[in-house]
Amino acid sequence: MYAIFAYGGMETVSGVTDSMKDPEKYFPRGLLIGAAFTICSYALTILMAGFTVNYHRDIARDGVNIGNMTYVIFHQLGTAL
């Protein structure tokens, strides 16, 4: 679900295509590179979080809910790194 918001500003970028050199070639290439970078970043973050978060110790405890689970996970990831 969060991956949808990663492309929230893509429609604003299309306004600069008129000032690009050969936009038919470079604009789609830039979109594909951006999509690949986003997918790799998400996959790497999920993999790193999977290595650093212990479900029973970090997630399944009092005070952790859906609203703050992301903060708990990234806190553990930052502590581990």
The residue extents of the domains of the chain are 23-80
> For residue 43, what pLDDT is reported?
92
For the question of whether the overall pTM of this predicted structure is more than 0.75, the answer is: no
Q: Is the pLDDT of residue 66 over 80?
A: yes
> For residue 9, what pLDDT is reported?
67
- Using CA atoms, how far apart are residues 15 and 19, in angstroms rounded to an integer? 9
Q: Which range has the worst mean pLDDT, 16-20, 25-29, 39-43?
A: 16-20
Looking up tokens 């600069």 gives 16
The more confidently predicted of residues 3 and 45 is 45
Structural contact between residues 49 and 42, judged by C-beta atoms closer than 8 angstroms = no
